[in-house]
Amino acid sequence: MCASHCGGACLLKVHVRDGIITRIETDDGEEPQLRGCLRGRAYRQRVYAPDRLLYPLKRVGQRGEGRFERISWDEALDTTARELLRVRDTYGPASIILAQMTGDVCSLNNFGAMDRLLSMAGGYTSPWGVTSFQGGVYASLVTYGTWFCSNTRDDLLNSRLIILWGWDPASTVTGPNTCWYLAQAREAGARIICVDPRYTDSAATFAHQWIPIRPGTDTAMLLAMAHVMIREKLHDQAFLSTYTVGFDRFSDYVMGAEDGLPKTPRWAEPITGVPAATIEQLAREYATTRPAALMTGIAPGRTAYGEQYHRAAITLAAMISSQRV
């Protein structure tokens, strides 16, 4: 598999002669294929990149001076083990922090290998949360009770409107085949809108409309969309009353009953940089096009209070939920 950490893990067929990679192909079997992109198929260039580190190096100059010398693997392992034991015995196991997340190392050697090693050596301190998308995890857990809560990618083919919000699946696929299904959905007539500060490859390739937004202001725009939907009674109150709790308080906040500040598109415009008319249009389109998919990326949630972006998007989805087929 490709371990590029884009959320894909596509299939790679690596041709090797005398221990050297000569060619990389990908899935060419029956659809749906786990078909790799150009980045995955160019993995050979990464493996043989001239500036890739192939052996342990030890600093010999001052820090920042950039002077290193090659050492053996035995010396590297002995040094690391000796220092781990010294720090553990001097300051206690809690003084060792394991700041690892996913990526190539976990694909090759298992995520838990280092945890296991340090646990057997007396314990360690681990970071809190998920470095990639803790805002999304938190929002999903408090709202849905689980973070396994989205439809499979093939369900995009049933959508007539797809909003890619802060997500560029052309570079961060988050599941093989995402772009394949997006392309098919577009060919089948689905309208695709990208809300993103950047004109991404996905916006260039798939989107009928690109709505640039000031980074970190996504929640304000989602609230303003909710304002339009509530004001124009485009939301499904029966569904909300039957299957959710808390919408009345959300509505009070959005409409300004709680703090005297209605979260209108005009309120959101100077915050987000998105024209009020664009916000109104998107709110109406999302509320009246069925079925619609609001696909939220994890980047907008990587901000202060980023979980509110995810919670707002979940709420918007619930506001039209029962209207989907």
Residues that bind ligand SF4 (CB under 6 A): 2, 4, 6, 8-10, 36-37, 39-40, 173, 176
C-beta of 8 vs 300, nearer to ligand SF4: 8
Contact status, residue 40 vs residue 4, Cβ threshold 8 Å: yes
Question: Closest by alpha carbon to 267, among 280, 250, 282?
Answer: 280
Contact status, residue 102 vs residue 109, Cβ threshold 8 Å: no
Amino acid at 201: D
C-beta of 2 vs 274, nearer to ligand SF4: 2
Closest approach, Cβ 25 to ligand SF4, in A, equals 11
Within its chain, how far is the Cα of 218 from the centroid? Answer: 15
C-beta of 40 vs 297, nearer to ligand SF4: 40
Closest approach, Cβ 292 to ligand SF4, in A, equals 25
Beta strands in the chain (DSSP E): 12-17, 20-26, 57-59, 68-70, 161-165, 191-195, 209-211, 292-296
> In the bound complex, which residue of the shown chain has the CB atom lying closest to ligand SF4?
40
Residue with tokens 């087929």: 325
Question: Closest by alpha carbon to 109, among 3, 35, 11, 24?
Answer: 3
Angle between helices 218-231 and 276-288 (to 10 degrees): 60
- CA 226, 158, 148, 40 dihedral sign is negative
> In angstroms, rounded to a whole number, what is the distance separating the alpha carbons of residues 14 and 47?
12
C-beta of 2 vs 221, nearer to ligand SF4: 2
Closest approach, Cβ 45 to ligand SF4, in A, equals 13
Closest approach, Cβ 36 to ligand SF4, in A, equals 3
Question: Closest by alpha carbon to 310, among 143, 128, 161, 197?
Answer: 143
Closest approach, Cβ 2 to ligand SF4, in A, equals 3
Closest approach, Cβ 177 to ligand SF4, in A, equals 9
C-beta of 200 vs 219, nearer to ligand SF4: 200
Angle between helices 218-231 and 265-272 (to 10 degrees): 170
C-beta of 27 vs 115, nearer to ligand SF4: 27
C-beta of 6 vs 314, nearer to ligand SF4: 6
Contact status, residue 124 vs residue 96, Cβ threshold 8 Å: yes
Alpha helices for 144-217 (secondary structure H): 178-187, 201-206
Closest approach, Cβ 23 to ligand SF4, in A, equals 15
